Amino acid sequence: MEEILLQNKKHGMRTLLVCVLVELVALAGVIFSAILDESGVANALWIPLLVISLAVMFVAWIPLVGLRVLKPQEALALTLFGKYIGTIKGEGFYAVNPFCVAVNPAAQTKLNQSGDVKHSSLQPTVNADLNVSFEIPNKKLSLKIMTLNNNRQKINDCLGNPVEIGIAVMWRIVDTAKAVFNVDNYKEYLSLQCDSALRNIVRIYPYDVAPGVDTTGDGVNDDGSLRGSSDIVASRIRDEIQSRVNEAGIEIIEARITYLAYAPEIAAVMLQRQQASAIIDARKMIVDGAVGMVEMALERLNENNLVQLDEERKAAMVSNLLVVLCGNHDAQPIVNTGSLY
């Protein structure tokens, strides 16, 4: 299905004025025929004039049904007796075939900010003032850039750890014919394809950097992860969604990860693991620094010949310095007033 743009249809105002003028002329004909009937002159003329005027009055309003008003970045896909005849785009006052019908299968589908797909039918709603109102579906297609914020999904990463992730997808319609006729409901179709593409990409990556994982498919282990390579992951998710929605006439402008965390059932365990890893890294840094400081202290003592220490005393000094430097609490010094040995 290829999109057909209807050109030279922006003559709605001209059609409106002509129809109003014809209606006024027909009304004048009815009034004039009544005057002729009352006057009794030319009795043979007032009956055809009345019939023609009434017929014109009942027919002249039909073109008014084909009047359409579009705002910027709006479109209407039109069908005539079930056949797609074209699309009108852009702001303006249009006059089309009055028997044309606008088609938008997703008119009653709303993608809320949370990403939930809800259906609303033409049902009466009662407000606090007991006023009954009806919601009429809008058949216009929006060509603006829209945002789909899908619900968070629980997906297993490449290591089997359950991860909760959410994405925001910026999209717009670029082909109205494909969006309306190639899929049953382009909004639901986009939402489902986003979920499927997100699952296919996330299962390739670990949540955090893990050894022995190939995320690019080139056979070489790399450092890719959901947490550290969010831009790359988002780009792959966008490309995956785009490949799935081409037939629906939708362009995916951007996809971004909006939420990423371990699933609640393993979040506490993974937090302890991260804390343990951080403690180990901190201890390694402390030990490396303490060893360097002990080496520097021994070198300075040897250079200045302040104290001559045998190997046993050096070992005791090293032990004491490491305890002081690596300990979590301040050391309590003991002053030795006697002999060194």
Has residue 339 been placed in a domain? Answer: no
Q: What is the pLDDT of residue 244?
A: 93
Same domain, 154 and 257: yes
> Mind listing the pLDDT tens digit for each residue in 293-313?
877 877 777 776 666 666 777
CB 167 within 8 A of CB 258: yes
Q: What is the pLDDT of residue 93?
A: 92
Has residue 126 been placed in a domain? Answer: no
Same domain, 30 and 76: yes
Same domain, 182 and 232: yes
Per-residue H/E/C for 98-133: CCEEECCCCCCEEECCCCCEEECCCCEEECCCCCEE
Count: domains in the chain: 3
Has residue 73 been placed in a domain? Answer: yes
Has residue 290 been placed in a domain? Answer: yes
> Mind listing the pLDDT tens digit for each residue in 175-231?
999 999 999 999 999 999 999 999 999 999 888 877 778 788 777 888 888 888 888
Same domain, 205 and 255: yes
Beta strands in the chain (DSSP E): 67-70, 74-80, 83-89, 92-95, 100-102, 109-111, 117-119, 124-126, 132-134, 141-142, 146-149, 153-156, 162-173, 250-262
Same domain, 156 and 253: yes
Has residue 128 been placed in a domain? Answer: no
Last residue of a domain, one of 73, 103, 133: 103
Conformational region of residue 328, where left means phi above 0, alpha means psi within -120 to 50, and beta covers everything else: alpha
- State the pTM of this model: 0.71
Same domain, 258 and 148: yes
Last residue of a domain, one of 70, 103, 136: 103
Same domain, 97 and 169: no
Last residue of a domain, one of 103, 119, 154: 103
Q: What is the pLDDT of residue 116?
A: 44
Beta partners for 83?
80
Domain with 291, as residue range(s), is 280-326
Same domain, 257 and 171: yes
Q: What is the pLDDT of residue 101?
A: 92
Has residue 299 been placed in a domain? Answer: yes
Same domain, 238 and 292: no
Residue type, 111: L
Has residue 85 been placed in a domain? Answer: yes
How far is it, in rounded angstroms, from Cα 185 to Cα 110?
11
Same domain, 204 and 294: no
Q: What is the pLDDT of residue 284?
A: 82
Has residue 132 been placed in a domain? Answer: no
Q: How many other CB atoms sit within 10 Å of the CB of residue 136?
A: 8
- The DSSP symbol for 138 reads P
Same domain, 199 and 294: no
Q: What residues in the chain have per-residue pLDDT under 50?
A: 113-116, 119-123, 125-130, 133-134
Same domain, 152 and 238: yes
